[in-house]
Amino acid sequence: MLIDPAACQKRNGTGADTGIRRECLGLEHFAAVKHSLRDLRHGLSEYSFANLYLFRGKHDYEVLFDEHIAIYGRTYDDRLYMMPLFDIAKVTNEYLMHLMRDVHFMFPIHEIQVGLCSKGHFTASYNPDDSDYLHESGKFSTYPGNHLRGKKSLANKFSRDYVPRSRPLDDSSRDDAISVLKQWQDQAGTPPESTDYLPCLEALMLREALELFGFVYYSDARPCGFIIAEELTPEMCVLHFYKGERGFKGIYEYMFHHFACQYADRYRYFNFEQDLGMPGLKTAKSQYVPDQLLKKYRVKPCK
């Protein structure tokens, strides 16, 4: 079942006469949020309308329209935060304090932005579990070196054993991706609410509206995996979702290889998002040997 945007009650903030308003994030905010994001090209995975929209239920996202646009949300550890969709170096300390008056901190803030905060006014910290895994895209095309030899072998094994083919993710292949997602959820052995099943399903249903792209993968005529991605910056895309049926050994290694063969010339980096401190995700993502971990800072006023 998809999240019903109408179930989120809109709340007008103070200052309605001046045009200031605060509303639950919805599809109607797509153009305004995308416009604000266009100058924030640091590559943190949260700075994406699709990411914000698809996980609005988990984080209680609201959008503030003031002199600038900001997002308000709640972290997985139940802390309230403000996410500025603007260059914080171009506003005053007082304005930032104003936007932060009802939250614990600003988050996620890129390392470059942290350096722009006025010293003596703010303090910053980060949790490694929040960091995005950033990879040079070209390495998935060849899986070079001893450290990726096992991944290369698995991708080759999948090619030999299953005679794979792929189709672009579109309306004609969407149902095949949904069938893979449902099978993946059944194999997970946990309720859909404890996985990313619902956001992923919604991403498939709203692929065009959210400007997502990807591929569905098959063994002969049977769908067995898919990737859903989005452009974050002109040289980086984020892989929001990638699912494969457990019985197809090497499916993930093959999917990443194929995806890189199609997009490595266009995007220098693939962002695999964070692991949230989950041991299984941490192990799986670390095995591909990230080229960089993008830190996400929590910034709050000094006491």
Report domain extents, the chain. 7-110, 132-273
Residue 230 and residue 152: Cα distance in Å, rounded? 25
Homologous superfamily of 7-110: Gcn5-related N-acetyltransferase (GNAT) (3.40.630.30)
Flag residues of the chain having pLDDT under 70.
1-19, 116, 118-119
The pLDDT assigned to 19 comes to 65
- Output the pLDDT for position 13: 46
Q: For the range 154-159, what are the long-range contacts, defined as Cβ-Cβ under 8 Å and sequence gap of 24 or more? A: 154/249, 154/250, 154/253, 154/254, 155/250, 155/253, 155/254, 155/256, 155/257, 156/250, 157/249, 157/250, 158/248, 158/249, 158/250, 158/251, 158/253, 158/254, 159/254
**Do the domains spanning 7-110 and 132-273 agree at the CATH topology level?**
yes
pLDDT, residue 115, reads: 76
- What topology is assigned to 132-273 in CATH? Aminopeptidase (3.40.630)
Q: Please tell me the predicted confidence (pLDDT) of residue 195.
A: 94
For position 16, what pLDDT does the model report?
44
Average confidence score pLDDT of the chain: 91
Nearest CA-CA partner of 223 in 203, 245, 200, 241 = 245
- The answer to whether the CB of 44 falls within 8 A of the CB of 274 is no
What local confidence, expressed as pLDDT, does residue 277 receive?
A: 84
